[in-house]
A and B are shown apart, each in its own frame.
Chain A
Amino acid sequence: MRFPSLRHFLPVALLVLFVAAPLAAQDSTSRGVRIGLTYDPGSKPGVAVLPVTGATGDSVRAIVQRDFDYGDRVNPIVLDATAASEASRATGPNWPLLARLGAAAAVQITPTANGFHLAVYNVAKKQTALIRDYATSAAPQSRAWRAALHGISDDLEEAFTGVRGIAGTRIVFERGKRIWMVDSDGDGATPVSDVGTPMSPSWNPSGRTIAYSTLVPAGISVVDLSTGRSRTLVSGAGVYISPIVSPDGANVIYAHGVDAGVDLYTIPLSGGSPRRLSVGRGSDNVSPSFSPDGRRIVFMSGRAGHPEIYTMDADGTNVDLLTPLDIGERAYRASPDWSPDGRLVAFQSQMGGTFQVLTINLRDRSLRQLTSDGRNEDPSWAPDGRHLTFVSDRTGVKQLWVLDIETGRSRQLTRGAPGRVPAWSPRLSAE
C-alpha cells in the first residue's frame, strides 16, 4: 500500500535522463525518482510550472501550482505574463530566466490523448531530469481528472524533496447531519452519506470505505465510497460513538454505552460479536486513535473525573495517562489523534475559556500549542505527518482548516455551513 496511486496511472515511459550524485540514487522508500536539486539549505526548492497548452492548460497549471503551495515543501514560482511567454523556447527551457527567478526546477505538463506528459528540468544543471507519461481517461475538470493531476503533484514533491505530497488525499467530515468528503485543496465537497444522523467518519486504511456512527438509530455503519452503499456493522440501545478502523483493516474500535458509562469495544470489520476493551467503570471512554503500528490506542477518558487523554494496548491492557493534569485552567483534554510517524499525539485542550489544538511528544511528553485564534478542535493528521486538519470558529462559523505544523501556516479548507469531526484520509489510489 506504499505506492497506491501508481496502479492506475500505468507509467508508459519512465526515463531518467539525468541523475545527480549523491542524491541521485533511487530512494528505496519511494516508488518515484529522487531528483537532486540545487537550492539553499533551509529553504524550499523553487519550482516553476511552465505554461500548459490546450483548453484545460490554465486549470492544469493552477492546480499543480496550488498543490505545491498547499504542500508547503516546494515553493511554486509564479511566472508573470512576460516571464511565462519567455520561459520556454524552441530549443528548450529558458535557463537564464528560470535561474534568475529562483527556480531550482521547472515542470512542463502537456495534456495528451491518453492523459498527461510530464517533463521536469533541473535548472542548475540545465538538463532534463525526468520524463514520464501518465494515463487517465477521466473527463477534464472531473474529480478523477483533478485526482490524476494531484497524483502528478505528489510524485513531483516526492521527486524534489523525498517526501510524497498530500495533494491526492481527501478529508471526510460531518456537516448538517450528513457525512461529506472534500479534496485536500478544498475542491469537490460532496455528501457521502445522510443515513441515521451520521457522525464521526473515519477512513479504512484501504481508502475505499468510511466507518461512521449513527445517532438515530444508534449504531456503527460502513459506507463503500465506490457504490455509496452503507451497511450497519452493529446497532442497538444506548449510544454508539467514534469508530476507527485498525491499521490492518481487520477490526473497528468504537465507543458504546447504555446505562453504565461508555466504553471502547472492538468488532471485526467483516461482522461478528463485539468485545469490550476498556474498563471505564461507569466513566466515558471515547475518541480512540491507533498508533501507526496498531499496537497501542490513544483515547479520551473521563475516569479521573474529567476528560483526559490515555493510551492503552490494543487489547485494552496497560492503560497510561498521557496528558499532564496541570495545563490549561480547566482539566478538559479530548479528541486525540496519533501522528502517522508515531511520534506525536494531537489533541484539544481547554485553554483561556475555549479549546486549542496541541501536540504532545510521546517520548518526552513535551507539549506544543498549535492554535490560538478562536476555538480550535478535532485535529486529524494528514498522512505526511506534517499537516493537520481541525475545526475552527475563527471566522465566526465552524469550518475545517489545515495547518502546517512546521511553518505554522494555516488555510481554510471548507466554506458554507458549519462542519466538524474531520478525518484526513490515508494516501489514496487514483480513480
Chain B
Amino acid sequence: MIRRTAVLSLALLSVAALDGCRRKVVPAPTPVATNSTSNADSLAALRARQRADSIAAAERAAREAAAASDRRSAGEAAAVLSQKVYFDYDQDNLRDDARATLDAKVPILIANPSVTLAITGHTDERGTAEYNLALGQRRAAQVKRYLTTKGIEDARLSTQSLGDSQPAVQGTDESAYQQNRRAEFQVSGASALVAPRS
C-alpha cells in the first residue's frame, strides 16, 4: 500500500510538471538555447506520466479483478459448502464421491471459523416413514462425524432429519431415488465467505 501511494504521488507530480512546460512552450514562439533541455525534461515527464498512467490503470484493473475474484470465490465457497452429498440405498456410509464433496468443504470451513453448517439427512421413499427419519438422522450424523475428524469443531455442525418427507425430486425410479438419498447443508454465521488461500 505504501509503495502504491508513492507511485501515485510521483505520477501526480509528473503531470503537474508537464502542465507547467506546456504553458511555457505555447506562448514562446522563439526557441532559446535552454529549450532543448526544457524539451528533454518534458519528454521525460511525459514518459513518466505515461508510465504512471499505465501503472495506475493496471492497478485499478488488478483491484477490480481481485474484487471480482473475491466475489466469485465467495460465491464458489458458498456453493461448495452447500453442495449435497449422496448415499446408497439404506446406507449411511460415505461413498468416495461424498468424501470428495466433504473434503472440498473443509478448507472453506477452516478459513471461515464463524461459519456453521446445519446438516439435514434425507431418504428416498422406500422403507417406512419412521425408519427413514432415523436413517436420515444417521446420514446427517455420519457427515458430521467425517467433518469433525477433518478438524471442524463439533459445535459448528448441527444435524437433523426430514426422512422421506421432503424429496428433492418426485419419481419412483432409481434416478429419482438417488437424488433423494442425500444430506443437505444450510450455511450460516458469515455475511461474506473468504476463499481459502492456497
Contact = CB atoms under 8 A, between A and B. Distances in A.
A199 B137 contact: no
A215 interface: yes
Contacts of B159: 237-238, 258-259
A287 B158 contact: no
B129 to A, nearest CB: 6
Contacts of B183: none
A197 interface: yes
B141 A286 contact: no
B191 interface: no
A335 B160 contact: no
A348 interface: yes
A286 B138 contact: no
B121 to A, nearest CB: 8
A347 B141 CA distance: 28
A200 interface: yes
A134 to B, nearest CB: 40
A286 B138 CA distance: 13
Contact of A286 (B131, B158, B160, B162): B131
Contacts of B144: 259
Q: Is the interface of A mostly helix, strand, loop or mixed?
A: strand
Interface string A187-219: 000000000010110000000000001011010
Contacts of A286: 130-131, 133-134
Contacts of A177: 165
Interface in A58-95: none
B154 to A, nearest CB: 9
B163 A284 contact: no
A143 to B, nearest CB: 28
Interface in B131-145: 131, 133-138, 141, 144-145
Contact of B131 (A213, A237, A307): A307
B161 interface: yes
The secondary-structure label for the interface of chain B is: helix
A348 B161 CA distance: 23
Given A259-B145, A287-B128, A335-B130, A238 B137 contact: yes
B113 interface: no
A257 interface: yes
A378 B144 CA distance: 31
B127 interface: yes
Given A199-B133, A377-B128, A237 B138 contact: no
Output the residue of B133, B138, B162, B165 with the most chain A CB within 10 A: B133
Contact of B138 (A241, A262, A306, A332): A262
Interface string A320-349: 000000000000101100000000000010
Contact of B160 (A237, A261, A284, A348): A237
B135 A218 contact: no
A311 interface: no
Contacts of B127: 307, 332, 334
A200 B163 CA distance: 13
B136 to A, nearest CB: 7
Contacts of A237: 158-160
A300 interface: yes
A200 B135 CA distance: 16
B160 A239 contact: yes
Nearest to A332: B127
A307 B134 CA distance: 11
A259 B165 contact: no
Nearest to A260: B141
Contacts of A285: 134
A421 B135 CA distance: 17
B128 A262 contact: no
Nearest to A282: B138
A137 to B, nearest CB: 40
A164 interface: no
Contacts of A257: 134, 137-138, 141
Contact of A287 (B131, B136, B137, B160): B131
Contact of B130 (A255, A259, A306): A255
Name, among B134, B145, B161, the residue most crowded by chain A CB atoms within 10 Å (CB to CB). Answer: B134
Nearest to A305: B90
Given A259-B144, A284-B138, A334-B127, A239 B165 contact: no
A371 interface: no
A146 interface: no
A258 B135 CA distance: 11
A287 B162 contact: no
A200 B134 CA distance: 13
13 contacts: A174-B129, A237-B159, A239-B137, A241-B133, A258-B137, A258-B159, A259-B141, A286-B130, A300-B128, A302-B131, A332-B90, A377-B128, A420-B129
Interface of B: 90, 127-131, 133-138, 141, 144-145, 158-163, 165
Given A215-B161, A285-B134, 19 more contacts: A199-B133, A213-B133, A215-B163, A215-B165, A237-B160, A239-B133, A257-B138, A257-B141, A259-B145, A260-B141, A261-B134, A261-B141, A284-B131, A284-B138, A286-B130, A300-B130, A334-B128, A378-B129, A421-B129
